[in-house]
A and B are shown apart, each in its own frame.
With several copies, the nearest count.
Chain A
Amino acid sequence: MTDQPQATKKMSIAEALREAIREEMQRDERVFCLGEDIGIPGGFGGAFTVTLGLSEEFGHERVLDTPISEAGIAGAAVGAALSGMRPIADVQYADFLFCAMDQLVNQAAKMRYMSGGKVSVPMVMRAPSGATTRAAQHGQSPESFFIHVPGVKVACPSTAYDAKGLLKTAIRCDDPVLFFEHKLLYGSKGMRAEKGALSPEGEVPLEDYTVPFGKAAIRREGTDVTILGKLMTVYRALAAAEDLAEEGISCEVIDPRTLVPFDVETVAQSIRKTEHLVIVDECPRTGGWAGEAAAVLQEAAFGSLDAPIKRVTAPDTPVPFAPVMEKYYIPDEDDVKAAVREVLRWR
Chain B
Amino acid sequence: MADPSPDRMLHMYRQMQRIRQFEEKVNQLFLEGRMPGTLHLYTGQEACAVGVAEALDEDDWVVGTHRPHGHAIAKGVTLDDMMAELFAKSTGCARGYGGSMHVGDPATGVLPAIAIVGGNIPVASGMALGFKMQKTGQVIACFMGDGALNEGAFHEGVNMAAIWDLPVVFVCENNLYGASTPVDQVTRLEKLSDRAAGYGIPGETVDGMDVLTVHGAAQRAVERARNGDGPTLLECLTYRFVGHSRSDTRSYRSRDEEAEWKARDAIPRLAAHMVERGITTQDEVDAIAAEVAAEIEASIEFAESSPSPAPEDCLKYVFTEEAGQ
A and B touch in the complex (CB under 8 A): yes
Q: Which residues of A contact B (CB under 8 A)?
A: 30, 32, 36-37, 40-44, 61-62, 65-72, 74-85, 87, 95-96, 99, 102-103, 106-107, 111-120, 133-138, 150-151, 153, 173-175, 190-193, 195, 213-214, 260-261, 315-318, 320-329
- The verdict on B38 contacting chain A, using a C-beta distance below 8 Å, is yes
Q: Once bound together, how far apart are the Cα atoms of A314 and B239, in whole Å?
A: 39
Q: Helix, strand, loop or mixed for chain B's interface?
A: loop
Contact of B156 among A75, A107, A118 (CB under 8 A): A75
Contact of B126 among A77, A96, A151, A327 (CB under 8 A): A77
Chain B residue nearest in CB terms to A122: B320
Given A95-B116, A321-B97, A75 contacting B126 (CB threshold 8 A): yes
Smallest Cβ distance from A73 to chain B, in angstroms?
A: 8
Smallest Cβ distance from B16 to chain A, in angstroms?
A: 26
Q: Once bound together, how far apart are the Cα atoms of A117 and B319, in whole Å?
A: 8
Residues of B within 8 A of A135 (CB): 37, 97-99, 101-102, 115
- The verdict on B88 contacting chain A, using a C-beta distance below 8 Å, is yes
- The verdict on B125 contacting chain A, using a C-beta distance below 8 Å, is yes
**Residue-wise interface mask of B (98-138) relative to A, using a CB-CB cutoff of 8 A (1 in contact, 0 not):** 11011011100001101111110111111111110110100
- Whether the pair B130, A82 counts as a contact (CB closer than 8 A) is yes
- Whether the pair B314, A76 counts as a contact (CB closer than 8 A) is no
Residues of B within 8 A of A103 (CB): 119, 122-123, 153
- Whether the pair A80, B96 counts as a contact (CB closer than 8 A) is no
> Would you give 21 A-B contacts (Cβ < 8 Å), ordered by A?
A36-B178, A37-B179, A37-B181, A43-B251, A69-B156, A80-B127, A82-B126, A83-B134, A99-B118, A106-B114, A112-B317, A112-B320, A113-B97, A114-B102, A115-B97, A119-B111, A137-B102, A153-B319, A174-B321, A175-B324, A191-B247
Q: Once bound together, how far apart are the Cα atoms of A116 and B309, in whole Å?
A: 11
- Choose the segment among B157-165, B213-221, B285-293 that binds chain A (4+ C-beta atoms closer than 8 Å): B157-165
- Whether the pair A113, B251 counts as a contact (CB closer than 8 A) is no
- The verdict on B259 contacting chain A, using a C-beta distance below 8 Å, is no
Residues of B within 8 A of A114 (CB): 94, 97-98, 102, 112
Q: Which of B102, B163, B251 has the most chain A CB atoms closer than 10 A to its own CB?
A: B102
Residues of B within 8 A of A36 (CB): 178-179, 181
- Whether the pair A75, B122 counts as a contact (CB closer than 8 A) is yes
Smallest Cβ distance from B194 to chain A, in angstroms?
A: 16
- The verdict on B246 contacting chain A, using a C-beta distance below 8 Å, is yes
Given A37-B181, A78-B126, A80-B133, A68 contacting B314 (CB threshold 8 A): no
Given A75-B125, A117-B95, A133-B38, A67 contacting B159 (CB threshold 8 A): yes
Q: B182-213: which residues lie under 8 A (CB-CB) from chain A?
A: 182, 185-187
Residues of A within 8 A of B121 (CB): 75
Q: B234-280: which residues lie under 8 A (CB-CB) from chain A?
A: 246-249, 251-253
Smallest Cβ distance from B136 to chain A, in angstroms?
A: 8
Contact of B99 among A107, A260, A321, A329 (CB under 8 A): A321
Smallest Cβ distance from A142 to chain B, in angstroms?
A: 13
Residues of A within 8 A of B157 (CB): 71-72, 75
Q: Once bound together, how far apart are the Cα atoms of A318 and B252, in whole Å?
A: 34
Residues of B within 8 A of A322 (CB): 36, 88-89, 96-97, 99, 308-309, 314
- Whether the pair B315, A191 counts as a contact (CB closer than 8 A) is no
- Choose the segment among B6-14, B19-27, B47-55, B143-151 that binds chain A (4+ C-beta atoms closer than 8 Å): B143-151
Contact of A133 among B37, B94, B181, B309 (CB under 8 A): B37
The 5 closest A-B CB pairs, nearest first, are A79-B126, A75-B122, A83-B130, A116-B95, A72-B156
Number of inter-chain CB pairs below 8 Å? 300
Q: Once bound together, how far apart are the Cα atoms of A201 and B92, in whole Å?
A: 38
Q: Once bound together, how far apart are the Cα atoms of A74 and B153, in whole Å?
A: 11
New A-B contacts (4) at CB < 8 Å, excluding given A36-B179, A103-B153, A135-B97: A68-B147, A78-B126, A83-B136, A317-B314
Chain A residue nearest in CB terms to B186: A67
- The verdict on B310 contacting chain A, using a C-beta distance below 8 Å, is yes
- Whether the pair B160, A72 counts as a contact (CB closer than 8 A) is yes
- Whether the pair A116, B134 counts as a contact (CB closer than 8 A) is no
- Whether the pair B101, A134 counts as a contact (CB closer than 8 A) is yes
- The verdict on B2 contacting chain A, using a C-beta distance below 8 Å, is no
Contact of B123 among A41, A79, A193 (CB under 8 A): A79
- The verdict on B34 contacting chain A, using a C-beta distance below 8 Å, is no
**Residue-wise interface mask of B (32-71) relative to A, using a CB-CB cutoff of 8 A (1 in contact, 0 not):** 0000111000000000000000000000000000000000
Q: Which of A82, A190, A191, A192 has the most chain B CB atoms closer than 10 A to its own CB?
A: A82
Given A71-B152, A318-B318, A107 contacting B98 (CB threshold 8 A): no
Q: Once bound together, how far apart are the Cα atoms of A36 and B126, in whole Å?
A: 16
Residues of B within 8 A of A44 (CB): 179-180, 247-248
Given A80-B130, A118-B106, A68 contacting B116 (CB threshold 8 A): no
Residues of A within 8 A of B311 (CB): 324-325, 327-328
Q: Which of B93, B148, B319 has the most chain A CB atoms closer than 10 A to its own CB?
A: B319
- Whether the pair A115, B104 counts as a contact (CB closer than 8 A) is yes
Contact of B160 among A40, A67, A96, A119 (CB under 8 A): A67
Q: Once bound together, how far apart are the Cα atoms of A150 and B315, in whole Å?
A: 11
Residues of A within 8 A of B181 (CB): 36-37, 40, 43, 65, 67-68
